[in-house]
Amino acid sequence: MLSTQLINRTVNNSGLNAWAATKPVLPKHWKQRFQNWIEKGYYADMGWITRNIDFRVNIKKKYSWCQSVLVFADNYYTPPVHRKNTPYVSNYAYGENYHQIVIEKIESVARQLSQFHSNLKFKAYVDTGPVLERAYAVEAGLGWMGKNNMIIINGLGSYCFLGILLLSEEIEEYGSPLPDKCCDCSKCIDNCPTGALEDEYIHNSNKCLSFLTIEKKGDFSNREEKLITDTLYGCDVCQEVCPWNQKWARQTKDSHYFERRDYLQKTKNEWGSLTLEEFKNKFSNSVFKRLKFKRLQRNLDALD
């Protein structure tokens, strides 16, 4: 059994900001909720989301040895720069590729724990496996799920990357869900620029600026193009208006998460002059690489 004190110490050494723990099997209501979302077609054309449903809610389906799930949060927030006439870029894209940064931190936790438990098995995921990270975060008590479907963490807010670590050992203390502190606030829903937040906790990717500008393949329809306005990559509006973020969001201590902030403050013409070679060189280790050069040009063409 792993002690809470030991895990606290290793997490502090890793640079991660928060953690909590739960069991590998989610309560049944998460599967039903996920299936309802899929049945409504809210996943847009991200068909990969519809696969491996059983594993998403029951990690033991694939890793029978898993006894515990640690869920981590890493603060990436940095105050945005509002240079005049620059297209909007989401805060999480200001730095290096977070997948690599967060998983290295999580694996450093695992390696340290392995020094005390030589037979420890582990597996880390950061947006790369079919796991409902947010559901596990809620069950672990890492934070509560806001009405915009973001995990809001006490003292940090929602500007955090999530990652999980599967462990073959039980731990001394598991968390439990926190009270929902959104109460009667609906600012995220009221301010969503495209109406993608159709109701409390209901997110329709088909309308979401993050999906449209990053994940969507091919050309925009006329309806979609009208939604883009000044957005080049992603959207943070539902986080920006959240009172908890306004209270808790603070500058990350990890400089990897904002190294490109100033570089990204380009006008439409400056973005348009970027060559394919420059795009590849500058964004080789960035989430911007997911956009690909052709989609960048598509997004630029749709800007007001």
Query: What DSSP character marks residue 177?
Result: P
Instruction: Give CA–CA dist 299/220, Å, rounded.
Output: 9
- Give tens-digit pLDDT for 137-190: 999 999 999 999 999 999 999 999 999 999 999 999 999 999 999 999 999 999
Take residue 237 and report the two structure tokens written for it. Answer: 């509006």
The predicted structure's pLDDT at residue 32 = 94
Any idea how long the chain is?
Answer: 304
Per-residue pLDDT tens over the stretch 235-270: 999 999 999 999 999 999 999 999 999 999 999 999
Tell me the mean pLDDT in the region 193-221.
Answer: 95
Rg (CA), the chain: 20
Model confidence band, residue 10 (pLDDT cutoffs 50, 70, 90): very high
Beta-carbon-side half-sphere exposure of residue 288 (alpha carbons within 13 Å): 29
The model's confidence at residue 128, banded by pLDDT at 50, 70 and 90, is confident
Q: Is the pLDDT of residue 304 over 90?
A: no
The pair of structure tokens assigned to 280 is 């590849």
Residue 171 · residue 59 · CB < 8 Å? no
The DSSP bridge partners found for residue 25 are 58
* Active site residues per annotation: 127
In this prediction, what percent of the chain has a pLDDT beyond 70?
A: 100
Could you state, in order of their start, the residue ranges of all structural domains in the chain?
4-78+94-167, 187-302
Eight-state DSSP code of residue 95: S
pLDDT of residue 219: 95
User: Which of 16, 214, 109, 302 lies closest to 205 in space, CA to CA?
Assistant: 214
Q: Quick one: pLDDT at residue 129?
A: 81
